[in-house]
C-alpha cells in the first residue's frame, strides 16, 4: 500500500478535471473499437495498442506422471483514460484490479473471455502523489499503470505467465480483446485485429499470435 494522496483545493480539482476532460474528448483514437460494458454502455476509455498470446503443447510421456504446470502466456499494452474516476490509481492500490483476455465473436458484439487474472489490493503498490504509478504483481502475473504526460492518461502493461489458454481458437481471424476491470466495477475494454494485417502468427504450428495496432 502507498501513502495517501494529499487532498487538493476544490478550485484546483475542478480545473484539473476540466482540463483532463478536454484532453479526453480529443484523444480517443478514431479507429478504436469499443467493447460493451457490463452495464450495457459503450466505453472507449481504453485503447489497446498491442496484444500477444502464446500457447505450448505439453508432451505427456507414456509412464504415469503429474500434469505439466501451466506454461501459456499472454501480454497486452495500451492506454487508459481513467476519467471520470479521479482516484483510480489509489483505488487499485487499495482494492486491486482485474484483467481479462479473450476475443469478440464474429459479429463483434460479444466478448468471449479465455482467461482472467485478478490482483488484490495487497498485491498492488502505488508510488507518487500527483501522478502515481501502480504496480500489481503475483506469481506469474504483472499489471502496471504508468502515468503519461496528459492528465488522467496512463499506460497499461499486462504480462501474464503460467496460464492455461483453453480453448485456443484460430484467433488470427477474430479480433483479440482485453478488458481492464477497475475497482469502480466497470469493464474498460478494447479490441485489436479488426484489420486482418494487424495480427499474425510468429511461431511455427501457429502457437504464438502477435497483434499490433496499425498507425
User: pLDDT tens across 82-98, in order?
Assistant: 988 888 999 999 999 99
Cα separation, 120 vs 93, whole angstroms: 8
Mean pLDDT calculated for residue range 23-28? 33
The band of 50, judged by pLDDT with boundaries at 50, 70 and 90, is: very high
Mean pLDDT calculated for residue range 186-202? 82
Residue with cell 501474464: 160
Q: Provide the 10 A C-beta neighbour count for residue 173.
A: 11
User: pLDDT tens across 146-192, in order?
Assistant: 999 888 899 999 999 988 876 565 666 678 889 999 888 778 889 88
Strand partners, 47: 79
- For the chain, strand residue ranges (E) read 35-36, 42-43, 46-54, 72-81, 97-104, 111-119, 124-127, 133-138, 141-147, 153-163, 176-181, 187-192, 199-201, 208-212
Per-domain residue ranges for the chain?
33-57+69-212
Q: 191, 176 in Cβ contact below 8 A?
A: yes
* Helix, strand, or coil (residue 11): helix
Amino acid at each position: 500500500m502507498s501513502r495517501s494522496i494529499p487532498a487538493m483545493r476544490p478550485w484546483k480539482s475542478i480545473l484539473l478535471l476540466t482540463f483532463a476532460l478536454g484532453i479526453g474528448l480529443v484523444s480517443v483514437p478514431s479507429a478504436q473499437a469499443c467493447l460493451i460494458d457490463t452495464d450495457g454502455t459503450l466505453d472507449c476509455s481504453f485503447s489497446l495498442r498491442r496484444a500477444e498470446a502464446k500457447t505450448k503443447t505439453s508432451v505427456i510421456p507414456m509412464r504415469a506422471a503429474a500434469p505439466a504446470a501451466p506454461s501459456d502466456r499472454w501480454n497486452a499494452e495500451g492506454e487508459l483514460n481513467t476519467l471520470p474516476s479521479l482516484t483510480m490509481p489509489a483505488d487499485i492500490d487499495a482494492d486491486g484490479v482485474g484483467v481479462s483476455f479473450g476475443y469478440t465473436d464474429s459479429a463483434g458484439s460479444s466478448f468471449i473471455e479465455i482467461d482472467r487474472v485478478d490482483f488484490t489490493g495487497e498485491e498492488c503498490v502505488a508510488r507518487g502523489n500527483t501522478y502515481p504509478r501502480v504496480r500489481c504483481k503475483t506469481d506469474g502475473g504483472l499489471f502496471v499503470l504508468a502515468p503519461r504526460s496528459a492528465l488522467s492518461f496512463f499506460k497499461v502493461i499486462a504480462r501474464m505467465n503460467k496460464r492455461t489458454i483453453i480453448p485456443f481458437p484460430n484467433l488470427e481471424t477474430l479480433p483479440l480483446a482485453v478488458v481492464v476491470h477497475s475497482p469502480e466495477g466497470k469493464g474498460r475494454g478494447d479490441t485489436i485485429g479488426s484489420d486482418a494485417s494487424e495480427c499474425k502468427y510468429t511461431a511455427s504450428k501457429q502457437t504464438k499470435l502477435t497483434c499490433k495496432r496499425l498507425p
